[in-house]
């Protein structure tokens, strides 16, 4: 199959759209091909977490991208996708959206979506990325489980009524492809500048749980030029965070 023979895939249900997109990418599907599902039975989040994916209300999608950037820049695609989603939700749907490093979409103090980027090689030896995006669209407050109702929200709750998930899938795709073009032509500094416009927690007191289980408390100084988060601890040491959990200290 030629890469141009692949088309977007629309599914009622699947385990994870990232898994489907990865397999299409391995077979050579072209830059920009997307997978949208109405429901996921094994939706995945960052750090091995589960992404709760009830049927028919939300956006669960993944896009195959083959950016013309060096391999060592690929991890920056998570923030690139964050900018693309935030600008789309702000410009097209008039939602007051915020970003939390590295991959969360927020409205006010609650999470409404997240991004899971994965990188691998196709059968022809070319590296590609799968950008998975989950956004709570048409869920009402009463639809959230007791476990997450205090920390999760949706576009509907934020005022976006009658939102068509398929339209959102197309709108985010076009925003993602255009933001990747800007990354390719102007560099990551362009993406970072726009990410900072939506940075919700710069200046806040945060706790970083390191991958080896330590707890670092300090001020969130925002991402550096490579997209790593800077946290200044109480002794003034600046830590560069590549992975792990970073959360508000003592959220009320």
244 CB burial (10 A radius; 0-12, 13-18, 19+): middle
Min CB(85)–ligand BTN separation in Å: 11
The partner residues of 113 in beta bridges, in order of sequence, read 105, 135
Options 11-19, 148-156, 189-197, 222-230: segment touching ligand BTN (CB under 6 A): 11-19
Q: Is 75 in the site for ligand BTN (CB under 6 A)?
A: no
Question: C-alpha distances in angstroms, 100 versus 16, 30, 110, 172, 246?
Answer: 23, 30, 10, 18, 9
Q: Is 62 in the site for ligand BTN (CB under 6 A)?
A: yes
Question: How far apart are alpha carbons 49 and 15 in whole angstroms?
Answer: 14
Question: How far apart are alpha carbons 69 and 77 in whole angstroms?
Answer: 10
- CA-atom Rg of the chain in angstroms: 18
Which of 9, 17, 169, 220 is close enough to bind ligand BTN by CB under 6 A? 17
Residue 6 or 52 having the CB closest to ligand BTN: 52
Options 10-18, 65-73, 215-223, 226-234: segment touching ligand BTN (CB under 6 A): 10-18
Q: Are 7 and 32 in contact (CB under 8 A)?
A: no
H or E segment to which residue 34 belongs: strand 34-40
Q: Is 175 in the site for ligand BTN (CB under 6 A)?
A: no
Which of 16, 138, 175, 220 is close enough to bind ligand BTN by CB under 6 A? 16
**125-164 mask for ligand BTN (x: CB under 6 A)?**
-------xxx------------------------------
Task: Point out which residues bind ligand BTN (CB under 6 A).
Answer: 16-18, 40, 43-46, 49, 51, 60-62, 103-104, 114-116, 132-134
């Amino acid at each position: 199959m030629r890469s141009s023979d692949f088309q977007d895939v629309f599914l009622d249900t699947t385990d994870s759209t990232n898994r489907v997109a990865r397999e299409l990418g391995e077979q050579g599907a072209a830059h920009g091909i997307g997978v949208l599902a109405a429901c996921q039975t094994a939706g995945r989040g960052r750090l091995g977490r589960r992404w709760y994916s009830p049927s028919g209300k939300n956006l669960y999608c993944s896009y195959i991208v083959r950016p013309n950037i060096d391999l060592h820049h690929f991890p920056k695609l998570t923030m690139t996708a964050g900018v693309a989603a935030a600008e789309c939700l702000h410009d097209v749907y008039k939602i007051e959206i915020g970003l939390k490093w590295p991959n969360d979409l927020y409205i006010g103090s609650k999470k409404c979506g997240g991004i899971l980027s994965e990188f691998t090689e196709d059968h022809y030896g070319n590296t590609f990325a799968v950008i998975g995006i989950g956004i709570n669209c048409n869920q009402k407050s009463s639809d959230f489980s007791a476990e997450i109702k205090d920390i999760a929200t949706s576009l509907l709750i934020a005022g976006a009524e009658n939102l068509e998930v398929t339209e959102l899938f197309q709108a985010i795709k076009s925003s993602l492809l255009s933001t990747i073009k800007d990354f390719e032509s102007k560099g990551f500094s362009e993406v970072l500048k726009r990410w900072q416009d939506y940075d919700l927690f710069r200046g806040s007191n945060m706790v970083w749980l390191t991958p080896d289980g330590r707890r670092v408390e300090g001020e969130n100084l925002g991402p550096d030029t490579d997209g790593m988060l800077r946290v200044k601890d109480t002794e003034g040491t600046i830590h560069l965070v590549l992975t792990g959990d970073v959360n508000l200290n003592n959220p009320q």
